[in-house]
């Protein structure tokens, strides 16, 4: 693990995955994100990026990779240097839209940053 400096304290990284309840929810979540943040395959830029990684990489082989536990409802996110409150607002709205698209009452999702 990287050592502590005056500008850096070790902890969680900036890369995470979101797995949604259904394909329609995933589409709604990703469609909204694509209007507010960058989408693309490069993860590690100064801006927040999202990628529908399983769908993008294995779109024609989804049945084959499902056996390995890969799901088309997964979105990979790399957090950039935008403000925390701005990103929380964007992702909360994306979650709300995914919940609406799912078509049923969803569990409450709590987004927090420690």
Structural domain contains residue 34: yes
Structural domain contains residue 57: yes
Count how many domains the chain has: 1
pLDDT digits (tens, 9 = 90+) for 23-62: 999 999 999 999 999 998 776 788 999 999 888 888 888 8
Confidence of residue 2 (pLDDT cuts 50, 70, 90): low
Mean predicted lDDT score pLDDT of the chain: 84
Cβ-Cβ contacts under 8 Å for 98 (sequence gap 6 or more): 20, 21, 25, 26, 28, 29, 106
Structural domain contains residue 62: yes
Rounded to whole angstroms, what are the CA distances from 37 to 31, 68, 91, 101, 102? 10, 30, 10, 20, 22
Q: What is the CATH number of the domain that holds 67?
A: 3.90.1150.10
Structural domain contains residue 44: yes
pTM across the whole model: 0.76
Domain, as residue range, for 38: 15-102
Residue 93 has pLDDT above 80, yes or no: yes
Structural domain contains residue 97: yes
Structural domain contains residue 75: yes
């Amino acid at each position: 693990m990287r050592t502590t400096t005056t500008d850096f304290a070790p902890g969680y990284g900036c890369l995470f995955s979101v797995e949604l309840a259904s394909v329609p929810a995933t589409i709604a979540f990703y469609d909204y994100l694509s209007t507010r943040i960058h989408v693309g395959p490069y993860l590690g830029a100064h801006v927040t990026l999202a990628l529908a990684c399983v769908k993008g990489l294995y779109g024609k082989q989804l049945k084959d990779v499902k056996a390995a536990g890969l799901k088309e409802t997964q979105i990979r996110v790399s957090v950039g240097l935008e403000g925390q409150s701005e990103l929380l607002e964007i992702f909360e709205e994306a979650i709300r839209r995914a919940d609406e698209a799912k078509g049923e009452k969803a569990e409450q999702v709590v987004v927090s940053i420690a």
